[in-house]
Amino acid sequence: MTLQIHSSWEKPLQTEFESFYFRELTTFLTMEYQNHSCYPAENFIFNAFEHCHYHQVKIVLLGQDPYHGAGQAHGLSFSVPDGIKHPPSLVNVFKEVEHDLGIPYPTSGNLERWAKQGVLLLNASLSVREGEAGSHQKKGWETLTDAVIQKLSENKEGLVFLLWGGFAKQKAKFIDPKKHLILTARHPSPLSANRGYWFGNKHFSQCNRYLKTNGKTPIDW
């Protein structure tokens, strides 16, 4: 597997890429992609870092692992390429944006437009085997992505971390709440969202108010 990541991330993550666990992860992924259908395509694995450069990060939106159906995953959490049917979780995300900010429900589920404004759409695991949710967990991805969260917390100020669902909320331990805003809610998947605090969380307007307070340009959601 070839490491394709924007140059702005190379120095902050250099020690991770040179580590033993990352070499083991690379070996595992090479075998997985050779012997199974895996998502996203290899050249999209680090897409979140390609579209949101290190110096641009304003918001970190954490997912668990990529969509495991054909054509859905392209390296950005919750996002799908243009022309792909919106998964249920993404539908609920867009409904909350509409409710919170009055922005009409979009045609495309491609969130590259968010990433390019400074939203790091980061999954905890950056790959998955087709039809097997969580199949690439505990292989090293979480060590890398936990390090990303921690380094952003340590080296930057005034970021927003969106932690939706129990899995994402566990990552709060890597974030300094004195330096950053942490917003939590239920996961937007229908089973979780319909049980309580998802709809009406107003995270998108809260993000923008916080960014403005810290002298940053708000996100055009």
Q: How far apart are CA 84 and CA 175, in angstroms?
A: 34
Rounded CA separation 12/181 (Å): 22
Rounded to the nearest angstrom, the gap between the alpha carbon of residue 38 and the centroid of all alpha carbons in its chain is 18
Q: Tell me how far apart the terminal alpha carbons of the chain are, to the nearest angstrom.
A: 34
Residue 65 contacts residue 128 (beta carbons within 8 Å): yes
Catalytic residue check, 176: no
Q: Across-strand partners of 163?
A: 62, 184
Q: In angstroms, rounded to a whole number, what is the distance separating the alpha carbons of residues 127 and 202? A: 30
Mapped onto helix, strand or coil, the DSSP state of residue 62 is strand
Sequence-distant (6+) residues with CB within 8 A of 144 are: 13, 16, 21, 22, 25, 126
- Mention every residue, 6+ apart, whose C-beta is less than 8 A from residue 90: 78, 79, 80, 109, 188
What's the CA gap between 43 and 75, in Å, rounded?
A: 9
Question: Could you list the active site residues?
Answer: 65
